[in-house]
Amino acid sequence: GEDVEQSLFLSVREGDSSVINCTYTDSSSTYLYWYKQEPGAGLQLLTYIFSNMDMKQDQRLTVLLNKKDKHLSLRIADTQTGDSAIYFCAECTNAGGTSYGKLTFGQGTILTVHP
Amino acid sequence: NAGVTQTPKFQVLKTGQSMTLQCAQDMNHEYMSWYRQDPGMGLRLIHYSVGAGITDQGEVPNGYNVSRSTTEDFPLRLLSAAPSQTSVYFCASTASGANVLTFGAGSRLTVL
């Protein structure tokens, strides 16, 4: 079955880079996602990457995908206190490329940014 | 556009009570889904729907019922609430072929 794993906690200083890691087991993953959840709020899509890509950059965010190792990472450059949140990795594995609204999520990584 | 709207935001139930969590979207999305979020476990899929009149089970469907009579609405019913159903519930929707989910703000349910 599908499984997505993340480390639970990450603590960084303001201005440093943060790297949040995720591993998944299903080699047929088509899309991989990063969502952000601030306290008491819903999930906000940060970025996503298609499985035939190795890297995607969007302003301060860089996503790296290693399909061989089934490893996904999210790098946040110049991390700010406003980046403190829970970050979820998720995968879509529907072979037809459509998730039908079904994603498999990791446990979430709590990012704490210290001034 | 309102996006995905969930009501209520907070609810406290006693064991054995029933209730319905409402979810509505105004984006004409075909696909809708319900997830529950528990600490350290991420989000797990309860039920999903690919269109009006069509629903299917996700990873953790026991204790929950759904129906989809219209494209816009996808209510989640708890027939006899249990403390194990204490959680935060999220509804999500996506258009056919879009592969990007839009989430509601969540409904926090406590079962005593």
DSSP code at position A54: S
Q: How large is the average pLDDT for residues A11-35?
A: 92
Taking the C-alpha atoms of residue B72 and residue B26, their distance in angstroms, rounded to an integer, is: 6
Q: What pLDDT digit, counting tens, does each position of A95-113 carry?
A: 555 667 788 999 999 999 9
Q: How far is B17 from chain A (nearest CA, A)?
A: 25
What residues 9-28 of chain B have any CB closer than 8 A to a CB of chain A? Answer: none
Whether the CB-CB separation of B43 and B36 falls below 8 Å is answered with yes
Closest CA to A78 of A59, A50, A55: A59
B46 to chain A, any CB pair closer than 8 A? The answer is: no
Taking the C-alpha atoms of residue B109 and residue B9, their distance in angstroms, rounded to an integer, is: 8
Say whether A101 and B100 touch across the interface (CB within 8 A). Answer: no
Is the four-CA dihedral B31, A4, A48, B42 of positive or negative sign? positive
DSSP code at position A78: S
When CB atoms are compared, the residue of B42, B44, B101 closest to A101 is B101
Quote the tokens at residue A76. Answer: 């946040």
pLDDT of residue A1: 56
Q: What pLDDT digit, counting tens, does each position of A45-98 carry?
A: 999 998 888 999 999 999 999 999 999 999 999 999 999 999 999 998 765 556
B110 to chain A, any CB pair closer than 8 A? The answer is: no
Say whether A101 and B32 touch across the interface (CB within 8 A). Answer: yes
Q: Tokens 């129906």 appear where?
A: B67
pLDDT of residue B41: 85
The three-state (H, E, C) secondary structure of chain B, written as one string? CCCEEEECCEEEECCCCCEEEEEEECCCCCEEEEEEEECCCEEEEEEEEEECCEEEECCCCCCEEECCCCCCECCEEECCCCHHHCEEEEEEEECCCCCCCEECCCEEEEEC
For A53, phi then psi, to 5°, come to: -105, 155
Q: State the 10-residue block means of pLDDT for chain B, 112 residues long.
A: 90 97 96 93 93 94 97 97 97 85 94 96
* Residues on chain B touching A31 (C-beta within 8 angstroms): 99
Q: What pLDDT digit, counting tens, does each position of B7-38 carry?
A: 999 999 999 999 999 999 999 999 999 999 99
